[in-house]
Structure formats: structure tokens, C-alpha cells
Amino acid sequence: MADHNDLGSLGEELAVRHLHEKGYQILATNWRFGKDEIDIIAETPDYLVIVEVKTRQTFAFGEPEVFVNQAKQRFLVRAAQAYLEKNNVEKETRFDIVSIVINNTSRKINHIEDAFYPVL
């Protein structure tokens, strides 16, 4: 597996642990709909939470969350809609980003709730 895949997997594991510690129930990880993928699907008492995880080793190109562009948001919304329909979910849905920078000297996790809203 390529190093960036290892880093991504580590980031997703850290994000799952972080969300779990905050009281989220993890429903699925790496849920696929065609070519689209949702990194984490979680639940709080009030929301179904669709989570995109972005992991980097450095801030050299900015915060990791800036890489969740409009195209990626559209893919997430499309996959979320499929998940909602397939599982007959009627709970309010929220889109979060967990941004992680991890390297040999530090680890920073930034959980951004309501990171973006689906465009209709």
C-alpha cells in the first residue's frame, strides 16, 4: 500500500476514535455508492453525520479541509442521498470534516461541524 494510503487509513482511524470519544455512534466506515465514498457515517441523538476525513503530514499547502472542494462535496452529497434512501433514514443530516495533520513531532485534529451545506 502506498504511504499516502497508510496515512489516510491512520487518519480515518484517529477520526473514528475522536468521534467515538465525543459520543458519536459510528454506523459505517468507507461506505461506497458507485465510485463515491463516505469516510465515516456517524450518528448523534439529533443528526446523521456524514464525515469526510482529510489527513496530511504538513500545513505546507494549507489546512487539510481546504481540499474538500465543491466537486468532492457533490460526491459526498450524492453518496449521502443514496445512504439515506437505502437505509430509510429520516433524521436530519449534517456534513462534517475531520482535518488531521500528523507527523513525527505532532498531531492536530480539527473537527468542523456543519462544514458545508448541500447545494440543491
Determine the pLDDT at residue 120: 55
Q: Is the predicted pLDDT of residue 8 greater than 50, yes or no?
A: yes
Domain that holds residue 97: 3-116
Residue 18: HSE in the Cβ half-sphere, 13 Å Cα cutoff: 20
Q: Which residue would you say has higher pLDDT here, 56 or 58?
A: 56
CATH number at residue 35: 3.40.1350.10
Determine the pLDDT at residue 1: 44
Those residues with Cβ within 8 angstroms of residue 36's Cβ, 6 or more apart along the chain or in another chain:
75, 76, 78, 79, 82
SS3 state at 39: strand
Q: Which residue would you say has higher pLDDT here, 35 or 62?
A: 35
- Integer Rg of the chain from CA: 14
Q: What does each C-alpha distance from 17 to 11, 90, 109 come to in angstroms?
A: 10, 26, 11
Least confident window among 2-11, 15-24, 80-89: 2-11
SS3 state at 24: coil
Total of domains in the chain: 1
Q: Judge whether 72 and 85 are in contact, CB under 8 Å.
A: no
Task: Report pLDDT digits (tens) over 13-35.
Answer: 999 999 999 999 999 999 999 99
Q: Which residue would you say has higher pLDDT here, 73 or 106?
A: 73
Give me the chain's average pLDDT, please. 90
